[in-house]
Amino acid sequence: MDLTLLVLAAGMGSRYGGLKQLDQVGPSGETIIDYSVYDAIEAGFNKVVFIIRRDIEKEMKELLFDKYSKKIKIEYVFQELENVPEGVAFPADRVKPWGTGHAVLMAKDVINEPFVVINADDFYGKSAFKVVADYMNSQQGDLKGKNCMAGYLLKNTLSEHGTVSRGVCKVNNENELVEVTERTKIGLENNKIIADDNGNNLELNGDSFVSMNFWGFTPDVFAELESEFKKFILENADNIKSEYYIPSIVSHQINNNLATVKVLQATDQWFGVTYKEDKPVVVEKMKALTDAGEYPERLW
């Protein structure tokens, strides 16, 4: 089965303070994206599509895409603020694109096969790519609506240097996703995990599955995504901070019996570089994984 990796690499990096997509964390100068593409190739993926901004095209191509193209097919598309349904107006002072759901929609013309969505600045580990690829390859017959996600325990995905946003998941006895709720400003307070709930503190269970934006979709999702995003943008066009998240389309599909989402536990530890202070921790962890033989000293 053809399997594509879709990498969301158009983020602004406002909390991080720089272009974290290209920050070097590996022993030979590797980026987190380098490890994700490496793990995807090992798991059997045969194409990578990147969602980027036009202003970083040259750097991404020179530093990443050219070397990847020797090992796997590479394509890239742009996420642009102006790429919205015809007839939709929005405030002139808006500068950010419309979120991760909008980013995925940008790839609808270059992906016609099952695909996996990940963030560029998150290290997911080999197990996530393997369990998701194995699940998608095991599906027979009509693949429509047979989606999945790599699930991580909330307590293993926090940052010591500030709050984070997570899609908190509820699953049934079949390990299928029932509901995903986007929670913002999650952090530790007095040894408790607290999230913002419309201005109030909400305590969360650290053993809950969370989405780290590692989703497996079949290509029929694009039609629903386009339709739902259009509704969203018409309702929120005048809100300069509104964003359409991937969990929104996932919830729509589940609630309307359009798809199932199998939750597959990733056994590796997730880590990322949300804040500049996270980088030394990531560098240390990548060195430890390399020393343990999980990765070669030089990936490419």
Does residue 300 lie in a domain region? no
The structure tokens 């939709």 sit at 88
Does residue 298 lie in a domain region? no
Using CA atoms, how far apart are residues 100 and 69, in angstroms rounded to an integer? 25
pLDDT of residue 17: 42
pLDDT of residue 228: 94
Q: What is the token pair recorded at 170?
A: 């509820």
pLDDT in tens, 150-170: 999 999 888 777 888 888 999
Does residue 88 lie in a domain region? yes
Asked if residues 5 and 34 have their Cβ atoms less than 8 Å apart, the reply is no
What is the domain range of residue 254? 4-291
Q: Is 112 helix (H, G, I), strand (E, B) or coil?
A: coil
Using CA atoms, how far apart are residues 99 and 201, in angstroms rounded to an integer? 25
Does residue 297 lie in a domain region? no
Does residue 296 lie in a domain region? no
Query: What is the number of structural domains in the chain?
Result: 1
pLDDT of residue 299: 92
pLDDT of residue 20: 60
Q: Is 163 helix (H, G, I), strand (E, B) or coil?
A: coil
Using CA atoms, how far apart are residues 47 and 81, in angstroms rounded to an integer? 26
pLDDT of residue 15: 41
Low-confidence ranges of the chain (pLDDT < 70): 12-21
pLDDT of residue 16: 39
CATH of the domain at 100: 3.90.550.10
pLDDT of residue 19: 60
Does residue 179 lie in a domain region? yes
Does residue 234 lie in a domain region? yes
Does this model's pTM top 0.85?
Answer: yes
Report the relative pairing of strands 115-119 and 192-197 from DSSP bridges. Answer: unpaired
